[in-house]
Amino acid sequence: MKLWTKSSDALAEVSAFTTGDDLTWDRYLARYDVLGSLAHIRMLASIGLLTQDEHQALSAELKKIHGEIMNGKFVLEAGVEDVHSQVELLLTRTLGDAGKKIHSGRSRNDQVLLDTKLFLRQELEELLTDIKALFDLLLAQSEKHKNALLPGYTHLQLAMPSSFGLWFAAYAESLVDDVITLQAAYRVVNKNPLGSGAGYGSSFPLNRRMTTELLGFEDLNYNVVYAQMGRGKTEKIVAAALGNVAGTLSKLAMDACLYLNQNFGFISFPDELTTGSSIMPHKKNPDVFEIIRGRCNTIQAIAGDITLLTANLPSGYHRELQLLKEKLFPAFRSLRDCLAMTGLMLSRMTVKENLLQEEKYKYLFSVEEVNKLVLQGVPFRDAYRKVGQDIEQGKFSPARTVEHTHEGSIGNLCNDDIARMMDKELKTFPLAKTQEALKRLLH
């Protein structure tokens, strides 16, 4: 019988179907359920719903359970419905009636909301570390290869000279904008829903600002109905932000697959970073980048999945909301793995020097020749026509040099400014505040 059951249990088939794989994803939330309970019982003691002795005993036991979770010793027992039930069951076994009191002023709805927000907040914080590591590598590679020219394309046709310096730094700056969207998602996540109950508050004099401070939230979800409506919306916002990072990695992976192709031949990797063929001994396949591309495309689709899962739901709780966990939770590990593998590949990449000296790339310099004539006083349209005629008549013989000096161009990458932008965005996350709050809660 479940903790929530009044007299009789549901049919086994109904229970199994409605629970589904929820217990698998509940393990992700175990730590955060304990942290939420630590804050909640401190608040309950402050309003007289727990004695100080009960609070101290519950707090000590919850910290013990937290230690077991962190050491991998926490298990969800057979027949236990969810992580919230397991924690309360352990407390009740040890402390008796005091363990039954921790649910006062709470619903499983706001427990799930709280646990999910604490989980998402922590995952976003860890994701930032991995993004910053790849960002730093991209800028370092940009500086290292800033003088190595690279063909630039539009419509996948030869267009104008680019450089590996530009290419690496482009993806670094893309990550800056991705972090901006992560910051917006973080702000939505970093609001406390605890105390909203089943979506309509409580007759207990709950101190919601107290639990907000104890858990290191920046603010709280004030309206209790909206706190519940935020479930699904929060996950969709986070998924969209993850999708932006995934989009950056997917595009980079596609570039790398093209550039490794023999018809391009711009880059190479050590044999141990590529794979071969069972029948073609010459093959060096970019399997890592292909898997990154596939995983990241899947991650970009999650926001759409969540949209369809939650579309047209009225306010209040609905059981399909539990399916959000299996949609979003695995995406963090998948994305972090992709960030790490992208970093590994780029750190071992070799770029081909003097690419644009090859005859097939001479037309990349057509705009350079047009601009030279313009600088000599020739009207642009006349200069364009002359260079075009030279190309048609086989007279085009460019100098194959570039002198781009404006901000963000081949000769002026502005990597220091890109780094400054990233540092500015990272400083907007109150990481020290949240971690310090949780540290105090556990001590």
77 within some domain: yes
- Tell me if 188 sits within 8 A of 201, measured CB to CB: no
Q: Please tell me whether residues 351 and 366 are part of one structural domain.
A: no
What are the pLDDT digits (tens) for 114-153?
Answer: 999 999 999 999 999 999 999 999 999 999 999 999 999 9
| 343: CATH | 1.20.200.10
* Token duo for residue 318: 């609905």
Q: Please tell me whether residues 276 and 196 are part of one structural domain.
A: yes
Residue of 22 and 382 predicted with greater confidence: 382
426 within some domain: no
Q: Please tell me whether residues 319 and 340 are part of one structural domain.
A: yes
Q: Please tell me whether residues 351 and 363 are part of one structural domain.
A: no
Q: Please tell me whether residues 340 and 366 are part of one structural domain.
A: no
pTM here is 0.92
Residue-level pLDDT at 284 = 83
Lowest model confidence (mean pLDDT) among 19-23, 89-93, 143-147, 173-177:
19-23
What are the pLDDT digits (tens) for 366-394?
Answer: 999 999 999 999 999 999 999 999 999 99
Q: Please tell me whether residues 85 and 137 are part of one structural domain.
A: no
Q: Please tell me whether residues 131 and 23 are part of one structural domain.
A: no
What are the pLDDT digits (tens) for 58-71?
Answer: 999 999 999 999 99
Q: Please tell me whether residues 146 and 195 are part of one structural domain.
A: yes
* Stretch (H or E) spanning 267: strand 267-268
Q: Please tell me whether residues 346 and 368 are part of one structural domain.
A: no
- Tell me if 115 sits within 8 A of 121, measured CB to CB: no
| 83: CATH | 1.10.275.10
Residue of 80 and 438 predicted with greater confidence: 438
403 within some domain: no
pLDDT band at 1 (very low <50, low <70, confident <90, very high): very low
Q: Please tell me whether residues 220 and 302 are part of one structural domain.
A: yes
Q: Please tell me whether residues 388 and 327 are part of one structural domain.
A: no
Give the range of the structural domain holding residue 79, as residue numbers without chain letter: 12-103
Give the largest CA-CA distance in the chain: 95
299 within some domain: yes
Find residue 158's DSSP bridge partners: 153
277: left (phi over 0), alpha (psi -120 to 50) or beta: beta
Say how many domains are in the chain: 3
Q: Write down the residue that tokens 């966990």 correspond to.
A: 325
Spatial separation of the C-alpha atoms in residues 153 and 364, rounded to whole Å: 9
